[in-house]
Chains A and B, each alone.
Chain A
Amino acid sequence: MAAQETRVITKFLRDRPDDSWEYSVAREHNHAYAALEKALGMEPAALVEEVQKSGLRGRGGAGFGTGQKWSFLPKDIFPRYLAVNADEGEPATFKDHMLIERDPHQIVEGSIITAYAIQAHHAFIYLRGEFALGAERLQAAVEDAYANGFLGKNILGSGFDLELIVHRGAGCYIAGDETGLLSSLEGERAMPRIKPPFPAVQGLYAAPTIVNNVETMSAVTQIVNNSGEWYAGMGVNKSLGTRIFSVSGNVERPGNYEVELGTTFRELIEGLAGGVKGAKLMKFFIPGGASSPWLLPEHLDEPLDMDRATELGTMLGSGAIMVFDETVDPVLVAWRIAKFFAHESCGKCTPCREGSGWLEKVLYRMANGLGRTEDLDLLLGFGNNLAPGLSWPPGQTTICQLGPSTMSPTVSLNKYWGDEIRARLASDAARRKTLEVASA
């Protein structure tokens, strides 16, 4: 279980925990904006190619090739926009939070490089509303960038202009969805939109738009600083480079760990995060945020490889790993996740709006001794209309992924403890019957 971090985008913030966000410190000790100077000396197309070469895949959750996404922009249609997704909201994910508060310049620099690569003259960082300190530091970083000629007109004499706006959200998970974010940025209810048209074709203000995650932007900075080839030299298979994983739950050392992809869950959870807290056994873990199907201790030696996760019927998603010990009732966890989705459903699509609430109500009863024998099968029954096939990646009857994601916990309950839970529901029902008879 020899485990170690490979700190690429977190090296600086780890090295200078007390002042890494300050402009002068970042300039002096982290060569901040050196990558930008380099990038401005390149052709935009060459930058796109360099990022494609790195094999970088989006770090927000979907894992789509970053350079490939950029290449989908229709030729010769302007203006174009860049929207940086800093609306971190997937439960148990807290990596962007750290990057924003502790290395905002790396994000701003990556955003400017990306805007240059895609030839956007307006960029927005959509920041989660609840990040008060993050807003202050990110805004300060943007102002420093303006003050030092990295933003505004004719950046570093290159002729490239860019306005970058920090835009705060106001409490809503679905604004983290690509098109939900764009709706919100337009001042509307953050409802995801039907695709096509995809944002790269008609996004913000109906113009071609690229939406990239904060960690992705940070990685872009380092890829330009080094090279695409260098980045692609880390990782495994088609999961290249490093990623930050947020480990939390019942572990000794919850926190963010940047590791090379291909590292195993065991190295991460038991090695870096210190394993299950308090000498207990692990019951299960969730590998990629609340949306992802669950895994068992038997999966601990699997690698952190996005495509391998798909083969296992789950995903690495946002890189949030939640660990639960043997005392935790998985039905309770499933209910809490269902409650989250019901609270965060935007209400646009019928299956999600109605189904997420139904799911929450039934799971609440199940977790609290009020289940009916048929409840688990009822959930799987109507759930099949939310996540057709009840497998991963799921089918979809909704516009965005929130709908099918609501079913991940229930499908996992059935997969690992189906018989056990049915027996428990039957016994709960029988016990209530007895109580009814006794009180009659």
Chain B
Amino acid sequence: MAFTDAERRRAEQLVARYPHSKSAVLPLLHMAQDRDGYVTGEAMEDIAELLGLTPALVLGTCSFYTMFKRAPIGNLVVSVCTNVSCLVNGGPALVDSLRARYADDDDVHVEEVECVAACDLAPVMQVNYEFHGPVTSEAAADVIEQYKSGALTARTISGSPVDAGSKAP
């Protein structure tokens, strides 16, 4: 969906933080993804218009970064690391089991990711970018269920609001 007036004002504030407006592309994409659960076409067009860019340039940038999803993926992004420290600590089995378990659950998007900088927690999993580890397949599933039930909550689907309730400019 397109920016509301309030969102547009917030977007303009974000843009104003940078010496050059184009730098606001990533924050604005995060903001759009937080709102819609993924980056919609309308959001990219709005961002392009706001920054005086073509939509093609916004898409080009957006598609470079793995955190930005361009189709609905549900409410929970489950990222399982299989890079070397997790590889030798059960990461691949963990991702396989979670994928199988949530294959039919539209609300849970299980993805294999590269090192998330928490190798002391190997095998490590993130749910909407909240860290959990080390986890067995069962423990991981239990954590995910807690998010589903609301017993655990994450900040946003894109990790953290871009300005996290900012008082700063």
Chain A interfacial positions (CB closer than 8 Å to B) = 79, 88-94, 96-97, 122, 128-133, 135-136, 139-140, 142-143, 146-147, 151-152, 163, 165, 167-173, 184-190, 205, 246, 248-250, 254-256, 286, 290, 320, 322, 324-325, 328, 332-333, 336-337, 340, 343-344, 346
Which B residues are in CB contact (< 8 Å) with A140?
164
Chain B interfacial positions (CB closer than 8 Å to A) = 17-20, 22-27, 29-30, 51, 60-61, 64-68, 79, 82-85, 87-89, 113-120, 122, 126, 128-131, 154-156, 158-160, 162-164, 166-169
Offer 29 A-B interface pairs, CB within 8 angstroms, sorted by A. A89-B114, A91-B119, A94-B119, A129-B65, A129-B129, A130-B67, A130-B79, A130-B129, A132-B130, A132-B154, A133-B131, A133-B160, A135-B159, A136-B160, A140-B164, A143-B168, A146-B167, A163-B169, A167-B26, A167-B27, A168-B162, A186-B22, A187-B22, A187-B61, A189-B64, A190-B65, A336-B83, A336-B87, A337-B84
Which residue of chain A is the closest to B156 with respect to CB atoms?
A: A132
Query: In the complex, what distance in Å separates the CA atom of A190 from the CA atom of B27?
Result: 14
User: Are A340's CB and B83's CB within 8 A?
Assistant: yes
User: Are A186's CB and B23's CB within 8 A?
Assistant: yes
Residue from B23, B64, B83 in contact with A185 in the complex, judged by beta carbons closer than 8 Å: B23
User: Are B114's CB and A168's CB within 8 A?
Assistant: no
Which B residues are in CB contact (< 8 Å) with A167?
23, 26-27
Task: From known contacts A135-B159, A336-B87, A340-B83, infer whether A173 and B26 are also in contact, taking CB-CB under 8 Å.
Answer: no
Which residue of chain B is the closest to A184 with respect to CB atoms?
A: B26
Counting chain A CB atoms within 10 Å of each CB, the highest count among B114, B126, B166 belongs to B114
Interface SS of A by simple majority: mixed
Counting chain B CB atoms within 10 Å of each CB, the highest count among A190, A248, A322 belongs to A248
User: Are A165's CB and B82's CB within 8 A?
Assistant: no
Task: From known contacts A92-B119, A130-B116, A333-B87, infer whether A205 and B19 are also in contact, taking CB-CB under 8 Å.
Answer: yes
Which B residues are in CB contact (< 8 Å) with A129?
30, 65, 67, 129, 158-159
User: Are B118's CB and A344's CB within 8 A?
Assistant: no
User: Are A168's CB and B26's CB within 8 A?
Assistant: yes
Query: In the complex, what distance in Å separates the CA atom of A250 from the CA atom of B168?
Result: 43
Which B residues are in CB contact (< 8 Å) with A151?
168
List 13 extra interface pairs beyond A93-B119, A97-B117, A135-B160, CB under 8 A. A91-B119, A97-B118, A129-B159, A130-B67, A130-B126, A135-B159, A143-B166, A151-B168, A168-B159, A249-B84, A254-B85, A324-B88, A336-B87
What is the minimal beta-carbon distance from A352 to any residue of chain B, in angstroms? 15
User: Are B27's CB and A94's CB within 8 A?
Assistant: no
Which A residues are in CB contact (< 8 Å) with B66?
170-172
Task: From known contacts A129-B159, A254-B119, A340-B115, infer whether A170 and B67 are also in contact, taking CB-CB under 8 Å.
Answer: yes
User: Are A139's CB and B122's CB within 8 A?
Assistant: no
Which B residues are in CB contact (< 8 Å) with A324?
88
Which B residues are in CB contact (< 8 Å) with A250?
88-89
Residue from B25, B27, B114 in contact with A344 in the complex, judged by beta carbons closer than 8 Å: B114
Task: From known contacts A171-B67, A184-B26, A336-B84, infer whether A254 and B116 are also in contact, taking CB-CB under 8 Å.
Answer: no
User: Are A188's CB and B61's CB within 8 A?
Assistant: yes
Counting chain A CB atoms within 10 Å of each CB, the highest count among B61, B84, B115 belongs to B84
Which A residues are in CB contact (< 8 Å) with B116?
130
